[in-house]
Structure 1
Amino acid sequence: MTENESLGSRIRRLRRAAGLSQEALARPNLSPSYVSLLEAGKRIPSDEVMAQLAERLGCDVTYLSGPIAKPDVIGLEVELHHAQLALRNGDAAAALTTLTELRDRLSATEHRDLFFAVELGIAQCLEHEGDLEEAATHFESLRRLCTTEGRGAVDQLSIVMSLCRCYRELGNLSHAVEVAEDALAEAEAADLPPTVAHLELLSTLIGVYSERGDLHRADFLASQAISQAEIIADRRALGGAYWNASAVLHRQGRSNEALALIRKAVAIYAEGDDERALARVRNAHATVLMQSEDPNPDAAKALLEQSAAALR
């Protein structure tokens, strides 16, 4: 939450973070126009509607309607933002130093949301630096914190996705599958709509199943991911779904189908600004081209040269 953030702005921010349209948030018993009026600050929701919105946004009612941040927190939020930028720019060591110092100045109860964001940043820095066991410990702690604080599904799924990724890199594929499947089952039991966080976890799990050799389950989840990505209309999520589905098909020897999907993924990632992700998906495209029934080494070489230039 930010200073002077209205209820309407908060609903809009949480809706976008969850990858939901106004129509998706409104279903099944509200209208998209009513949600639009809420976000514009032209309607005050009843307690019943507030509870429905909180459930669909994956947060508790007190978080949705809670107090705005105190002015003295704004400076701390600026420091957090700078650390997050440093991490995104690849300077995880500098970000970790800033975040660790910031955590020492925070109260876990008085600055609940800020403290959670700082702890998450520290875990992400540790993962980026390759300290996977320590990162997994931090993500496990954050997962428990999500439960005790009643945090929303978006936070929980994002944490589990990172945790699943760490366990995968540590070689503990069974545990990676367990934590991911449990989280997805909880989301399904709560009848939550698909979100970007849900799809990111699904994509990570598809990779784990593929690596473990369970291509049947990976194929099923890949089809599910594509269907859900098309519903929420998030281009990055759809690109990831195509990428993972292509990898599964390629492992199954279905190269023509794999090529069709990986080309779609490349086209989507080329629209964005994540050069690293685009380079990686081009590498995947080159691999499929070289190992398909009709190899195309010239096209694969061109893709790899583009990737090398970006990654260098």
Structure 2
Amino acid sequence: MGQIDTSTADLASVDVHALGARIRALRSQRGLTQGELAGKSLSTGYVSRIESGGRRPTMKVLIELAGRLGTTTDQLLHGIESSAYDEIRLGLDYAEIALESGDAGEAESHARQALAAAEASHLASFVERGAYLLGRALEARGAYDEAITRFEQVVATSTGLPRLEAGIALSRCLRDSGDLSLAIEAGEQVEAAFSDTPLATTDEAVQLSVTIASAYAERGDLSRATRRCTAAIATAEALSSPRARAAAYWNASVVESTKGRTTAAAPLAARALALLSEGRDERNLARLRLQVGRLLLQADPPEVTTAIDHATRAREDLVHTSASAVDLAFCDVTLAQAHLLTGDHVSARELAERCLETAPAEAPLPRVEATIVLGQVAASQGDVDAARSSYQSAAQLLSAVGADRSAAQVWYELAELLEEVHDYDGARTAFRSAAAATGLAARRQRVTTAVLSR
């Protein structure tokens, strides 16, 4: 009974044009006319309409056609036998389970195998899902270039919710890899495709909007980012969805923080944290804990103990989700910065070095921050040459980041640190790199160094 129910459900969702094409191809292989396939129970015209995709047969009719063609209903519905079809579906399920459990390597392996089998069998829906899951696994490993290619594939070939979900992932990957203009362009193209559909008022639409807003914020267009976040909050509140509302509040908090308004950012972040706790979205809840921890380090004075608690819990939780290597790297460097403020130079160095070992090359910003921490540790211990070398290395890494708002902030901080170790030429270069952005204030709380006391 279960198999019949499953086949009936598959018949209801199958692409009728693909089904008709398979029936027509098998009929030709068997050397049958449409009349011979129709037999006495069906009309030739009815068979013709089925083959052209104009009619969806009933399960009873499909069983008759399969019998006359010497095949199975599974072969007609999917192009492959049920066992092979189920094997592909199971492989995709395993990929998703591994992804949500935080095992990106296992997820990638399952997704690649299932995707290859789906492509060989021309199973469009499985190809779509496989490409999306593979993209997410690659994103989690920090392999942004291939992840972007996979998400672009899904956006170009899919419709409805799968396209919207892939659009979110595509915009996010482009943003995280530093291509802010393309992140905005790709996101807005997908958004425009759904503007007049019911999907425009879903959780996913809100998530796409705030992803675009975050790219605007990083590019320095804070007014547009703020307008988007405000609109997203209004939509999310109307949805009464904890997940969508949390995404909107979270990004609104990030925008306020970027403007230097930590006082305004903190309650927005707290609101998002409460909403995500309610919605049990473990990965985004952990990411938000990290964001709150970073905000607390920027406060005046910094709330170091609470920041360490948030960042530590965030890392522990992210390890068991599909979070990317970039998320984990930012956890490590945030903890390194916090321990530096407490005077625990050993932990600060170890965490910064772990960040440098794990952060992917496609996302240089956490590597820059970790290298700066190593310089600060050296400076606090009186090793001016090592500090200068680390700061110069950070400047080289930062040159690859681009001219977004967050990079400008780090340039500004790096310029001040270079001044402290008497690298005035490097400091001038860093100040020039930061000059494109205005209204920036030194965010990082620096330790008093031996250099300053001379």
TM value normalised by structure 1 = 0.70
- 1:128: which partner in 2? 140
For residue 123 of structure 1, give the secondary structure of its aligned residue in structure 2.
Answer: helix
Q: Kindly tell me: are residues 282 and 5 of structure 1, through their superposed partners in 2, closer, same or farther at Cα, counting changes over 3 Å? A: farther
1:169 equivalent in alignment to 2:176:
yes
Q: Which moved more, 1:207-216 or 1:159-168?
A: 159-168
- 1:252: which partner in 2? 259
Q: Which moved more, 1:103-112 or 1:78-87?
A: 103-112
- Report the Cα offset of residue 205 of structure 1: 1.0
Q: Kindly tell me: are residues 276 and 159 of structure 1, through their superposed partners in 2, closer, same or farther at Cα, counting changes over 3 Å? A: closer
Asked if structure 1 preserves the Cα contact closer than 8 Å seen for 2:131 and 2:153, the reply is no
Letter in 2 for 1:201: L
1:1-312 to 2 correspondence within 5 Å? Answer: 3=6, 71-72=82-83, 73-107=85-119, 110-146=122-158, 151-152=159-160, 154-190=161-197, 192-292=199-299, 296-310=303-317
Q: Kindly tell me: are residues 180 and 112 of structure 1, through their superposed partners in 2, closer, same or farther at Cα, counting changes over 3 Å? A: same
Letter in 1 for 2:246: G
**Partner Cα separation in structure 2 for residue 98 and residue 264 of structure 1:** 37
Asked if structure 2 preserves the Cα contact closer than 8 Å seen for 1:142 and 1:159, the reply is yes
Q: Kindly tell me: are residues 230 and 108 of structure 1, through their superposed partners in 2, closer, same or farther at Cα, counting changes over 3 Å? A: farther
For residue 167 of structure 2, give the secondary structure of its aligned residue in structure 1.
Answer: helix
Asked if structure 1 preserves the Cα contact closer than 8 Å seen for 2:88 and 2:117, the reply is no
For residue 90 of structure 1, give the secondary structure of its aligned residue in structure 2.
Answer: coil
Letter in 1 for 2:134: I
Aligned residues: 253
- Report the Cα offset of residue 271 of structure 1: 3.2
Letter in 2 for 1:284: Q
Asked if structure 1 preserves the Cα contact closer than 8 Å seen for 2:108 and 2:134, the reply is yes
**Partner Cα separation in structure 2 for residue 192 and residue 98 of structure 1:** 30
Asked if structure 2 preserves the Cα contact closer than 8 Å seen for 1:3 and 1:74, the reply is no
**Partner Cα separation in structure 2 for residue 171 and residue 93 of structure 1:** 24
**Partner Cα separation in structure 1 for residue 102 and residue 316 of structure 2:** 17
Q: Which moved more, 1:158-167 or 1:274-283?
A: 274-283
**Partner Cα separation in structure 1 for residue 112 and residue 298 of structure 2:** 46
Provide the alpha-carbon RMSD of the alignment.
Answer: 3.2
For residue 171 of structure 1, give the secondary structure of its aligned residue in structure 2.
Answer: coil
Q: Which moved more, 1:160-169 or 1:109-118?
A: 109-118
Query: Bigger relative contact order, structure 1 or 2, given CA contacts below 8 A and separation 6+?
Result: 1
TM value normalised by structure 2 = 0.50
Asked if structure 2 preserves the Cα contact closer than 8 Å seen for 1:255 and 1:293, the reply is no
Asked if structure 2 preserves the Cα contact closer than 8 Å seen for 1:215 and 1:252, the reply is yes
Q: Kindly tell me: are residues 5 and 243 of structure 1, through their superposed partners in 2, closer, same or farther at Cα, counting changes over 3 Å? A: farther
- Report the Cα offset of residue 276 of structure 1: 4.3
Q: Which has the larger radius of gyration?
A: 2
Asked if structure 2 preserves the Cα contact closer than 8 Å seen for 1:229 and 1:241, the reply is yes
Deviations 1:217-242 (A, max 9, x none): 11001111111111222211211111
**Partner Cα separation in structure 1 for residue 230 and residue 252 of structure 2:** 7
Asked if structure 2 preserves the Cα contact closer than 8 Å seen for 1:119 and 1:138, the reply is yes
Q: Unpaired runs of 5+ in structure 2?
A: 14-54, 63-73, 320-454
